[in-house]
């Protein structure tokens, strides 16, 4: 029997039971749709997050106070953490490989123009923060290079903040009040979008010394460091670490690189995708149980047909092939339905919500199709074997 | 061409052993026309199934065309069923979801014959049984006599040596029964060895040789003079 003929024969019995085959295949299809949709969401989310990190360039590292605990080691060598100071930032900036070291802190505050008030993000920074966020097309300028400890009361607005407070007016030279303190607006940043849930566009940027007084803070949340493009991240991290240890008398800072962030993020996302794929896998398995059930029913219903085939020259292994193939066809058909439905759902979702972070995770889709075929094989194995082991005379008698 | 040596087939039913065939010795010549008769339960079907390699003896030997079948595995037996043996049954045993044409084609599909050759052979088999115009009919659209003729076409399409018929007219009225008998007798005249199990004494007496079974033993074996 040629493969094509077994194929025709098997697919014919599937076609002759259209409704049942369709419903059985649906089990697998649902699984494939789950895998496609969920992993694509995961992939989209990952791509989105990575793009969030990388939009600020890969030569940026962040220095934060406190040592990340590893293996339950106590924080700091002497159990104390020194806050990050202006002197720390200056010292880092003076290191040979470093171009800029800019302190950054953020908090929520009340921002007012003459007519309007918003509760939003207040960012305390130094003069070169515009370089870190890659703001090359500003209106006006960024905070000037005053003495960082005694800066003047200047402020820069995010574009959305400008729109909210001033509409279409030119805000340069106007006054904005942040938690009741007056600042003169010297610039407006170009749109930068969200960064990890913070809307950088809906923020006001003030000198960090003013920020610390306003929020009664001592030290910075972090120092963002831009290093020379030619230096490797490793050597930069090492030199910053050495400096901070000598300045603070112990390792009491955490240095995070883009690579670290993306890697951690990647790990989380891989887990997410895997978990989600496992859910899809479970629904594939459920589909497999459906195929098993239907194939068992089919073997029972078609006993007399099996007897006939044996009588006209089919061997046991041939009978097994026919039923195995039928089971695999059901699962391939299901996977095919699932692929079509999955891509339709993704496209509809993108049509309705164009911003949805969806990116097709091809590897998982490929897995899901192969797994479907294997599931068909496994689900069909026992029914096909019991079909092949039927006594042909018994089978013929069961009309 | 067929020889049985002390062939027995026993069935275990509960703690009782049924001797469906009890040390049967039998020889059947090529192109013979043999009827097998006997009361219900005497072992006729069991004998036919063993001759057709659908069942295997508990003891004794079955030698077909000089080859002892007792050492064959499933694939070899399937190959012989496919190439040398045609079966027809009382209840026709067509596959209901296939057309007459496809039912007749099935043995050739199983043995890997090309579609062109299949199509030619199905057409000629349909012509032999006089059902050319019913090729695309499903079994349910055919009368009993027509169904049995499709089954006959299917059994001869591989050009077997032996045709085994288990009460082929049992489900038919007299007229279509006679047509079926005439058809298989014609095939016998054309060279096919024909072995027919029947209840019908009149039909049994048409054959060249009438074998009677009781309790799994041959109690009578008559040749036409
Ligand atoms: N699969 C089986 N299991 C148990 N007993 C069987 C089986 N097949 C046949 N028999 C017994 O063997 C005997 C012969 O059966 P069978 O060959 O079908 O008789 P016939 O065709 O002459 O009516 C009967 O007693 C029957 O009950
Ligand atoms: Mg019988």
| pLDDT tens-digit profile, chain B (225 residues) | 899 999 999 999 999 999 999 999 999 999 999 999 999 999 999 999 999 999 999 999 999 999 999 889 999 999 999 999 999 999 999 999 899 999 999 999 988 899 999 999 999 999 999 999 999 999 999 999 999 999 999 999 999 999 999 999 999 999 999 999 999 999 999 999 999 999 889 889 999 999 999 999 999 999 987
Residue in B with minimal Cα distance to A307:
B93
Is A167 in the same domain as A213? yes
pLDDT digits (tens, 9 = 90+) for A325-336: 889 988 998 999
Q: Check A311 against B87: CB less than 8 A apart.
A: yes
In a domain, residue A75? The reply is no
Is A198 in the same domain as A231? yes
pLDDT band at A31 (very low <50, low <70, confident <90, very high): confident
- Percent of chain A surpassing pLDDT 70: 91
Is A292 in the same domain as A217? no
Instruction: Burial-class residue A191 by CB neighbours within 10 Å (0-12, 13-18, 19+).
Output: exposed
Going by C-alpha positions, the residue among A179, A196, A202 that lies closest to residue A120 is A202
Is A278 in the same domain as A246? no
Give the lowest-confidence range in A71-80, A126-135, B137-146: A71-80
CA distance B92 to A213: 100
In a domain, residue A59? The reply is no
In terms of pLDDT, which residue wins out, A135 or B120?
B120
User: What pLDDT, on the 0 to 100 scale, is given for residue A71?
Assistant: 41
pLDDT band at A74 (very low <50, low <70, confident <90, very high): very low
For residue A309, what are the contacts with CB-CB under 8 A and spacing of at least 6? A318, A319, A322, B106, B110
Handedness of CA B115, B120, B123, B128 (dihedral sign): negative
CA distance B62 to A305: 27
pLDDT band at A59 (very low <50, low <70, confident <90, very high): confident
Q: What is the ipTM of this complex?
A: 0.95
CA distance B146 to B143: 5
Interface test with A, best of B79, B93, B162 (most A CBs within 10 A): B93
User: What pLDDT, on the 0 to 100 scale, is given for residue A76?
Assistant: 46
Going by C-alpha positions, the residue among B25, B28, B111, B23 that lies closest to residue B75 is B111
Q: How many domains in chain A?
A: 2
CA distance A26 to B151: 37
- Is the CB–ligand 1 distance for residue B45 below 6 Å? yes
Taking CA atoms, A293 is separated from A17, A286, A287, A312, A324, in Å, by: 15, 11, 10, 28, 13
Is A247 in the same domain as A316? no
In terms of pLDDT, which residue wins out, A18 or A156?
A156
In a domain, residue A165? The reply is yes
Q: Where does chain A have alpha helices with state H?
A: 3-15, 18-54, 86-94, 129-132, 159-166, 208-214, 233-248, 258-301, 303-311, 316-352, 362-388, 392-397
In a domain, residue A256? The reply is no
User: What pLDDT, on the 0 to 100 scale, is given for residue A275?
Assistant: 83
- Is the CB–ligand 1 distance for residue B77 below 6 Å? no
Q: Which residues of B touch A387 (CB under 8 A)?
A: none
Of the residues A251, A285, A311, which one is the last residue of a structural domain? A251
Domain range for B182: 2-223
CATH for B54: 3.40.50.300
CA distance A95 to B212: 112
Residue A308 near residue B102, CB atoms below 8 Å: no
Q: Check B93 against A304: CB less than 8 A apart.
A: yes
Closest ligand, as measured to the CA of B213: 1
Closest ligand, as measured to the CA of B16: 1
β-strands A117-125, A203-207 pairing: parallel
CA distance B126 to A265: 71
Closest Cβ–Cβ partner in A5, A315, A396 for B93: A396
Q: Which residues of A touch B75 (CB under 8 A)?
A: 315, 317
**Which helix H or strand E contains B41, and what residues bound it?**
none
Is A7 in the same domain as A33? yes
Is A223 in the same domain as A321? no
Q: How many domains in chain B?
A: 1
User: What pLDDT, on the 0 to 100 scale, is given for residue A1?
Assistant: 54
pLDDT band at A12 (very low <50, low <70, confident <90, very high): low
Of the residues A251, A274, A294, which one is the last residue of a structural domain? A251
In a domain, residue A330? The reply is yes
Is A342 in the same domain as A304? yes
In a domain, residue A76? The reply is no
For the CA atoms of chain A, what is the radius of gyration?
A: 32
- Is the CB–ligand 1 distance for residue B18 below 6 Å? yes
Mean per-residue pLDDT of chain A: 85
- Is the CB–ligand 1 distance for residue B20 below 6 Å? yes
Handedness of CA B151, B155, B157, B163 (dihedral sign): negative
pLDDT digits (tens, 9 = 90+) for A273-325: 788 778 877 888 888 999 999 999 989 988 999 999 999 999 999 999 989 98
CA distance A171 to A189: 12
Average pLDDT over residues A39-44: 82
DSSP 3-state of B65: coil
Average pLDDT over residues A189-205: 81
Which residues of chain A have a Cβ shorter than 8 Å from any chain B Cβ? 1-2, 5, 8-9, 12-13, 16, 304-305, 307-318, 392-393, 396, 399
Q: Which residues of A touch B93 (CB under 8 A)?
A: 304, 307-308, 311, 396, 399
pLDDT digits (tens, 9 = 90+) for A312-368: 999 999 999 989 988 998 899 899 999 999 889 888 988 888 877 788 878 878 888
Beta bridge partners, B220, equal B212
Is A278 in the same domain as A373? yes
Is A243 in the same domain as A329? no
User: What pLDDT, on the 0 to 100 scale, is given for residue A72?
Assistant: 40
Is A121 in the same domain as A226? yes
Beta bridge partners, B24, equal B7
Domain range for A268: 3-52+264-397
In a domain, residue A63? The reply is no
In a domain, residue A203? The reply is yes
Taking CA atoms, A305 is separated from A302, A311, A332, in Å, by: 5, 10, 24
Is A387 in the same domain as A282? yes
The pair of three-digit structure tokens given for residue B115, joined into one six-digit string: 């579609």
The pair of three-digit structure tokens given for residue B3, joined into one six-digit string: 């020889």
Of the residues A251, A274, A301, which one is the last residue of a structural domain? A251
Q: Which residues of A touch B78 (CB under 8 A)?
A: 310, 313-316, 318
User: What pLDDT, on the 0 to 100 scale, is given for residue A196?
Assistant: 61
Closest Cβ–Cβ partner in A2, A8, A392 for B54: A392
């Amino acid at each position: 029997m040629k493969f094509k003929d077994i194929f025709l024969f098997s697919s014919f019995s599937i076609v002759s039971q259209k409704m049942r085959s369709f419903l059985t295949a649906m089990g697998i299809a649902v699984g494939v749709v789950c895998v496609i949709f969920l992993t694509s969401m995961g992939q989209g989310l990952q791509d989105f997050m990575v793009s969030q990190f990388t939009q600020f360039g890969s030569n940026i590292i962040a220095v934060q106070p406190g040592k990340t605990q590893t293996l339950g080691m106590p924080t700091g060598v002497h159990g104390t953490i020194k806050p990050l100071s202006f002197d720390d930032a200056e010292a880092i900036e003076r290191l040979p490989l470093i171009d800029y070291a800019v302190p950054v802190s953020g908090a929520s505050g009340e921002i007012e123009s003459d007519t309007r008030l918003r509760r939003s993000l207040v960012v305390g920074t130094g003069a070169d923060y515009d370089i870190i966020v890659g703001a090359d097309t500003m209106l006006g300028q960024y905070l000037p290079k005053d003495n960082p400890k005694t800066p003047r009361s200047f402020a820069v607005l995010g574009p959305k903040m400008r729109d909210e407070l001033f509409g279409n007016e030119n805000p340069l030279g106007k006054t904005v009040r942040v938690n009741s303190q007056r600042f003169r607006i010297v610039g407006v940043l170009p749109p930068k979008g969200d960064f990890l849930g913070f809307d950088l566009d809906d923020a006001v940027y003030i000198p960090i010394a003013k920020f610390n007084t306003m929020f009664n803070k001592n030290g910075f949340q972090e120092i963002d460091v831009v290093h020379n493009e030619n230096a490797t991240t490793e050597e930069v991290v090492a030199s910053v670490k050495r400096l901070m240890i000598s300045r603070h008398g112990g390792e009491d800072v955490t240095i995070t690189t883009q690579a670290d962030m993306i890697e951690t993020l990647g790990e989380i996302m891989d887990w997410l995708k895997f978990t989600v794929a496992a859910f899809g896998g479970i629904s594939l398995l459920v589909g497999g149980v459906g195929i098993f059930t239907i194939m068992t029913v089919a073997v029972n219903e078609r006993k007399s047909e099996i007897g006939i085939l044996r009588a006209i020259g089919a061997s046991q292994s041939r009978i097994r092939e026919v039923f195995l193939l039928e089971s695999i066809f059901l699962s391939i058909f299901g996977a095919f339905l699932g692929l079509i439905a999955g891509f339709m759902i993704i496209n509809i979702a993108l049509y309705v919500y164009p911003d949805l972070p969806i990116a097709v995770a091809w590897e998982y889709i490929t897995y899901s199709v192969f797994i479907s075929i294997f599931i068909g094989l496994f689900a069909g194995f026992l029914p096909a074997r019991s079909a092949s082991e039927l006594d042909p005379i018994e089978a013929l008698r069961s009309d | 061409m067929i020889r049985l040596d002390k062939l027995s087939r026993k069935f275990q039913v509960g703690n009782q052993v049924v001797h469906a065939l009890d040390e049967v010795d039998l020889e059947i010549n090529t192109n013979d026309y043999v009827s097998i008769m006997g009361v219900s339960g005497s072992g006729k079907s069991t004998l036919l199934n063993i001759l057709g390699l659908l069942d295997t003896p508990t003891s004794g030997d079955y030698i077909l065309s000089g080859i002892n079948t007792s050492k064959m595995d499933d694939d070899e037996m399937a190959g012989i069923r496919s190439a040398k043996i045609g079966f027809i049954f009382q209840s026709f045993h067509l596959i209901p979801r296939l057309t007459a044409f496809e039912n007749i084609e099935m043995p050739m599909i199983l043995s890997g014959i090309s579609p062109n050759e299949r199509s030619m052979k199905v057409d000629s088999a349909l012509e032999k049984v006089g059902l050319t115009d019913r090729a695309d009919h499903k079994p349910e659209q055919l009368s009993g006599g027509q169904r049995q003729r499709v089954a006959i076409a299917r059994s001869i399409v591989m050009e077997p040596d032996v045709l085994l018929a288990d009460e082929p007219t049992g489900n038919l009225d007299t007229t279509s029964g006679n047509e079926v008998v005439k058809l298989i007798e014609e095939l016998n005249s054309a060279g096919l060895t024909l072995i027919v199990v029947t209840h019908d004494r009149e039909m049994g007496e048409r054959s060249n040789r009438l074998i009677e079974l009781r309790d799994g033993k041959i109690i009578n074996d008559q040749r036409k003079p």
